[in-house]
Structure 1
Amino acid sequence: MNYSGSCHCGNVKFEVEGELNGAMACNCSICERKGALMWFVPRDKLSLQTPEQDLASYTFNKHVIQHRFCPNCGIHPYGEGTDPQGNTMAAVNIRCLENVDIAAVPVQQFDGRSR
């Protein structure tokens, strides 16, 4: 299935392909503050509709995840990194997707604070 998404102001737009069968809520210091619900897909399944230079990026701790956000409205629509097997992944904030019933998506809790 294909989904469209954006930040609040619409400056960052993207499309993502995949089956949205669940999301993850992480309690690390940044995810807990953002309130993001992340859906992990291979990075090549996320297609930016916005020029790369229109996004900002933030890293912290081990500096392995690029937390991508809109420099205008501050919303974090996705992050980029690699999974434990070395595959390039995107962590899409499902709260930024259009026409998704968030309450119907199963959410798994992840203890990122302890890592």
Structure 2
Amino acid sequence: MSLLTNTTASPKILGGCHCGKIRFRVSVRKYEALDCNCSICQKKGILHLIVPPEDFELLQGEDHLSTYTFNTGIAKHHFCKTCGIHPFYRPRSHPIDYDVNVRCLDGDAMSLFEIVPFDGKHWEENIQQIT
């Protein structure tokens, strides 16, 4: 299976959790990922690629997802019930979109991305940078 899927639109990249029960395909319009320093992102090591619903396709594993919420309860932090990896979630900043963990993309896809720091420790003061 190839890392990139050929399309006439944006390139599609495959990804998933560690055990392979969750698999997805994401269209990438901009190769930029945010590295947030907030409490949960720092612990998960997530690199954020926020995409609209039409650019995300869950291929398998919906029944293997569990969800964690905290604070406002808006963000839906999805993770694999089997291996515990957080391949994507629905972010507080863009609750109808998907936030894909670039570290969960197949192969060396992460090397295609520019990593941009985001000060999530001061989320309220900085969120306008990504909305």
Q: Could you tell me which residue of structure 2 aligns to residue 113 of structure 1?
A: 121
Amino acid aligned to 1:95 = R
Identify the residue that residue 47 of structure 2 maps to in structure 1: 37
Q: Which consecutive aligned stretches of 4+ in structure 1 deviate over 3 angstroms post-superposition?
A: 81-84
Higher-Rg member (1/2)? 2
Which of 86, 90, 93 is matched with 1:80 structurally?
90
Specify the alignment match of 2:100 in structure 1.
Answer: 92
In structure 2, relative to structure 1, the CA distance for the partners of 1:103 and 1:45 (3 Å cut) is closer
Name the TM-score, length of structure 1 as normaliser: 0.87
The Cα of 1:18 is off from its aligned counterpart by 2.2
**Matches of 2:83 and 2:45, distance apart in 1:** 16
- The answer for unaligned runs of 5 or more in structure 2 is 1-10, 124-131
Q: Deviations over 1:44-90 (max 9, x none)?
A: 31111124222011111111111111010000000114646xx7211
SS at match of 2:42: helix
1:8–1:73 Cα contact (<8 Å) kept: yes
Q: Which residue of the partner structure matches residue 5 of structure 2?
A: none
1:61 is matched with 71
Partner in structure 2 of residue 7 of structure 1: 17
CA, structure 1 residues 102+18, in 2 after alignment: closer, same or farther (shift >3 Å)?
A: closer
- How many residues end up aligned between the 2 structures? 113
Larger RCO (alpha carbons 8 Å, 6+ apart): 1
